Copies of this chain bind each other. A is one copy, B any other.
Amino acid sequence: MSVYVGKSVPRRDTRLKATGEARYTADLALPFMLHAAVLRSPYPHARLLRVDTSRAEALPGVRAVITARDASGVKWGVFRYTRDQEFLARDRVRYIGEEIAAVAADTEEIAQEAVALIAVEYERLPAVFDPLDAIADGAPRIHDHAERNINIHVPIHVGDVDAAWDACDHVHTEMTRSEEESYFMTEPYAVLAHCDRQGTVEVWMPNASPHTKAKGLANALELPVSKVHVRHVAIGGAFGGRSDMFPGEYITALLSRKTRRPVRLVYTREENSIAVRQGHSMVVESRFGFKKDGTLHAVDVTCHMDGGAYSSTGPIATSVPFLCFEQTYRVANVRYNGYRVYTNKPIRGMIRTHGRAWACNVDMQLDLAAEALGLDPIEIRLKNALKTGDHTPTQSHIPSMASHETIRAVAEASRFREKWKRLPPWHGIGIGCVSVMSGFPMGIRGGSAAMVKFDEDGGVHLISGVVDNGQGNEGVVLQIAAEALGVPIDQIQLTASATEITPIDQGAYSQATTLVSGNAVRLACEDARRQLFEVAADVLEASAEDLELADGKVFVKGSPARAVPLAKVVRSGLLKGKSVIGHGSFGPNVDQRREWIQNPKGQLSAAFSYGSAVVEVRVDPETGFVDVLDVWASHDCGKAINPKEVEGQMDGGVAMGGHGGILLEALRWHEGANLNTNFLDYKIPLAPDMPPIHNFIVEADDPVGPFGAKEGGLSISMCTAQAYANAIAHAIGTHIREFPHTPDRVLDTIEAREGTEDEAS
């Protein structure tokens, strides 16, 4: 039935990006622009005894030097109760790379030179780099307010876990660990800020949530939100790492305010790695209990996450991996204790692949239980998978979830059961499953609104807060608008993510865009349609209720010959002083409670997507190298607004979550110093590294999503990680408990297992 939705419409920005014409922040320039550079802490933990900027200020070409003395003292944190970071360190630095001072100068070179002239006297303090060390007695205290360095504790208990073990036939405990990932966006972070004498601040930067940025900046600059204009610019990737406030944007705005000139700050690749965000490392201890028919009956998990020096958006990451689990598998008794712990390492935020150690631990438990109980991995998952109509332990109702269909799709396509018992030696096959929310409760920035207006020639302008970090969100809302209006996509222009123009929106965040922003766009278009029909009713001498809009024409239902072109309807309205302007507003029906992240309860998302992946590997027992032979990925994303884009997200999910997350990616450290901050030292999968990927979109129209659509892509990023890990375990005969599964770890695990077998024989 749909005309524009469900088609693989080519993206509008591809030509700009392919030709290099797209303008990213570092490409922007304003007249009289200055260049900024930042002085960063060389120590993981130290007191600042003296910051002397006099020599820097005296350098010709330097226009301003700022330190905490110039800053408002306002602290940042995504929740009101987690505000722990000043954007320029005031008396103490807590990680290597923390911002101490910044310079604006005529050239980048002068700015760098001036930074080197700032004299800082430090008193080094003892530092701690591991979350378990950080909560131990006698560990150095990183923040005065955080006892045992615990930043946030999420305690959840549903049912009665302690009483439940007795009813279990198989109980098993697992401990897994994962290292930190880097986001490694293609575009390093950059900011261009301009404060004018009206007190208005314009800011351009790669970002996933302009309204969050505008609010954070307004707070820090002590301005009303209306005076902070976060502007649209091309963005080279986000992966969860562009939603936070960064010191860079505050510093740049402050330098501009001080110099009354535009200021641009462009991070080096190294700075982007250290001073933007990183993924949490974590230690997960799980105890799972199953009944003999394979029913998961009790789960108890404790997770310690290394949050680095400050909160930022990190607290959200403390519960999200748990939520993904509880929305995937049914379990009557479940306890979770999540701890995000401060350490003297860079700040950790939300990342697209939440918790390798967590998610893989769960699926590992299922495989081990299946083996112990004589089931196969498919059977045990089908038995425990949540599905449409179910409730999660924390009481979210699942309005639609094609879990069984996605599991069966990959199982059948991969011939899983057939291969499971008879693959050649060192070959393995594994499956992973996960459910992901299409937006979790984000308060006033959890909804979205959109406006739509018409040109005199029938062209349409859509105004929406949607953000496109590269995943194609702009195209998604254009397709939704085209469908809702009945107007060809190429007649619709989009103005997106400029905070002074576009209404509030959560941004490309928490997988909400398609469902939340998409619904706002749909409603705005429906409102505009109604107005168009009112005008056209006069022109066509028909009743507005009898009208239809398609192919850019308004016509009487059932009498397509009684038609009038859209442009004529618009002009006819304008002649009567009636400008057609539609608006729509959508908020997901979720339980908005202030501390939901620590105590999730009630409806946490309007929709839940599902992903299943099967991976087949061959492990080289001599080198530990894992050769991925095939990936089958299956995704219930509701209706796929643009199937090619969904497949693109699925491919990207396999690359990031599976190939990168399980085989390659880990940050390396020495005493809090990040050692691999560039593309040579930190490996991400490149196109030639990737295995064949077979994508299966399972469309199960969601009752809430626009035209049935919900989250697309993240499910695959997560479940593929689990499938990779399980496939490797199948190939080598045992699970590896540390992530990523780099060749050395694979080899160590094989050797350890062979050692055990030797001993046993």
24 inter-chain pairs at a CB distance below 8 angstroms, sorted by A residue, are A15-B197, A21-B260, A29-B29, A224-B491, A225-B456, A226-B492, A226-B493, A443-B575, A444-B571, A445-B456, A449-B453, A451-B581, A451-B583, A455-B504, A461-B500, A495-B500, A495-B501, A520-B579, A575-B592, A577-B588, A578-B587, A579-B585, A581-B583, A581-B585
0/1 interface trace, chain A 548-583, chain B, CB 8 Å (1 if under)? 000000000000000000000001001111110101
Question: Which of the residues B30, B492, B503 comes within 8 Å of A581, measured between beta carbons?
Answer: B503
A577–B587 CA distance with the chains assembled, in angstroms: 3
A578 to chain B, nearest CB (A): 5
- Asked if A460 is an interface residue, CB under 8 A from chain B, the answer is yes
Which B residues are CB-close (under 8 A) to A493?
200, 226-227, 500
Contacting residues, chain B, for A198 (C-beta < 8 A)? 12-13, 15-16
Flag if A226 contacts B583 (CB, 8 Å).
no
Docked complex: A447-471 residues within 8 A CB-CB of B: 447-449, 451, 453, 455-457, 459-461, 463
Starting from the known contacts A226-B492, A445-B456, A455-B504, 4 additional A-B residue pairs (CB-CB under 8 Å) come to A12-B198, A447-B578, A447-B579, A577-B587
A31-B29, A495-B501 given as contacts; is B581 within 8 A of A586 (CB)? no
Of the candidates B200, B443, B451, B585, the one whose C-beta lies within 8 Å of that of A578 is B585
Residues 6-33 of chain A, each 1 if its beta carbon lies under 8 Å from chain B, else 0: 0000001101100101010001111100
Residues 204-227 (chain A) with a chain B CB within 8 angstroms: 215, 218, 224-227
73-125 of chain A: CB within 8 A of chain B: none
Residue A196 at the chain B interface, CB threshold 8 Å: yes
Q: Can you tell how many copies of this chain the complex includes?
A: 2
Contact A218 B592 (CB under 8 A): no
Asked whether, in the complex, the Cβ of A21 is within 8 Å of the Cβ of B225, the reply is no
In the complex, the chain B residue whose C-beta lies closest to that of A465 is B579
Compute how far the CA of A495 lies from the CA of B225 in the bound complex, rounded to whole angstroms: 14
Report, nearest first, the 7 A-B pairs whose CB atoms are least far apart. Answer: A577-B587, A226-B459, A449-B579, A444-B574, A225-B455, A579-B585, A447-B577
A15 contact set on B, CB distance < 8 A: 197-198
Which of A227, A520, A585 has the largest number of chain B CB atoms within 10 A?
Answer: A585
In the complex, the chain B residue whose C-beta lies closest to that of A32 is: B27
Verify B196–A16 contact, CB threshold 8 A. Answer: yes
User: Is B576 a contact of A587 with CB atoms below 8 Å?
Assistant: yes
Query: In whole angstroms, what is the CA distance A579 to B583 when docked?
Result: 9
Q: Looking at the complex, which one of B21, B27, B456 makes contact with A444 (CB distance below 8 Å)?
A: B456
CB distance from A209 to the nearest CB of B (A): 13
The answer, among B218, B575, B581, for a CB contact under 8 Å with A457, is B218
In the complex, per-residue mask of A472-514: 1 if CB is within 8 Å of any chain B CB, else 0: 0000000000000000000111010000110110000000000
Indicate if the CB atoms of A463 and B226 lie closer than 8 Å.
Answer: no
- Of listed A445, A459, A491, A581, residue having the most chain B CB within 10 A: A581
A571 to chain B: closest residue by CB: B444
Chain A residues 22 to 51 lying within 8 A of chain B, measured CB to CB, are 23, 27-31
User: How many angstroms from the CA of A588 to the CA of B575 in the assembled complex?
Assistant: 9
Q: Please indicate which of the listed interface residues A28, A224, A571 has the most CB atoms of chain B within 10 Å of its own CB.
A: A224
Report the bound CA distance from A218 to B456 in whole Å.
11
Interfacial chain B residues near A585, Cβ < 8 Å: 577-579, 581
Interface size on A, residues (CB 8 A): 63
Contact A579 B504 (CB under 8 A): yes
User: Measured between C-beta atoms, what is the minimum distance from A38 to chain B in Å?
Assistant: 23
The complex places the Cα of A271 from the Cα of B501 at a distance, in Å, of: 36
Least distance between A566 CB and chain B CB atoms (Å): 12
Interface residues of A (CB under 8 A from B): 12-13, 15-16, 19, 21, 23, 27-31, 196-198, 200, 215, 218, 224-227, 260, 443-449, 451, 453, 455-457, 459-461, 463, 491-493, 495, 500-501, 503-504, 520, 571, 574-579, 581, 583, 585-589, 592
Shortest distance between the CB of A74 and any CB in chain B (Å):
14
Contacts of A197 in B (CB 8 A): 15-16, 19, 21
What B residues does A21 contact at CB under 8 A?
196-197, 260
Q: Which residue of B lies closest to A215 (CB)?
A: B456
Residues of B within 8 A of A28 (CB): 31
Measured in the bound complex, the distance between the Cα atoms of B15 and A260 in whole Å is 12
Which residue from B29, B492, B587 sits with its C-beta under 8 Å from A574? B587
CA distance A449 to B453 in the complex (A): 10
Please give me the residue from chain B that is nearest to A449 by CB atom. B579
How far does the alpha carbon of A545 sit from the alpha carbon of B660 in the complex, in Å? 59
- Shortest CB distance A536–B (Å): 16
Residue of B nearest to A26 (CB): B31
Q: Within 8 Å CB of A30, what residues of B?
A: 29
Contact A453 B503 (CB under 8 A): yes
CA distance A520 to B577 in the complex (A): 9
Are A226 and B501 interface neighbours, CB within 8 A?
no
* Structural contact, A501 and B224, CB atoms closer than 8 A: no
Residue of B nearest to A458 (CB): B224
Nearest-neighbour CB distance to chain B for A685, whole angstroms, equals: 29
Least distance between A324 CB and chain B CB atoms (Å):
24
Minimum C-beta distance from A641 to chain B (A): 20
C-alpha spacing A200/B459, complex, angstroms: 13
CB atoms of A501 and B501 under 8 A apart: yes
B260 contacts A460, CB within 8 Å?
no
Chain B residues near A581: list those with CB within 8 A.
449, 451, 503, 583, 585
- When chains A and B are docked, how far (Å) is the Cα of A465 from the Cα of B321? 47
B-chain residues with CB within 8 Å of residue A520 when the two chains form the complex: 579
Query: Which B residues touch A503, using CB under 8 A?
Result: 453, 579, 581
CA distance A504 to B12 in the complex (A): 25
Which residues of chain B are near A13, meaning CB under 8 Å?
Answer: 198
Complexed CA–CA distance, A716 and B459 (Å): 40
| Beta-carbon nearest neighbor of A260 in chain B | B21
Most chain B Cβ neighbours within 10 Å, of A12, A215, A218, A447 = A447
Contacting residues, chain B, for A460 (C-beta < 8 A): 226
- Give the CA-CA distance A224 to B101 in the complex, in Å: 49
User: Which residues of B have CB within 8 Å of A463?
Assistant: 501
Give Cα distance in the complex from A274 to B513, angstroms: 52
- Tell me, rounded to whole Å, the shortest Cβ–Cβ distance linking A275 to chain B: 25
Residues of B within 8 A of A578 (CB): 447, 585, 587
| CB proximity of A196 to chain B, nearest CB, Å | 6
Q: What is the distance, in angstroms, from A668's C-beta to the closest C-beta of chain B?
A: 37
User: Which chain B residues lie closer than 8 Å to A447 at the CB level?
Assistant: 574, 577-579
Beta-carbon contact of B577 and A586 below 8 Å: yes
Q: Across the interface, which residues of B come within 8 angstroms of A492, CB to CB?
A: 226
CB-defined contacts of A504 to chain B, threshold 8 Å: 455-456, 574, 579
Please give me the residue from chain B that is nearest to A577 by CB atom: B587
Instruction: Report Cα–Cα, A446/B200, bound state, in Å.
Output: 32
Q: Which residues of B contact A196 (CB under 8 A)?
A: 16, 21
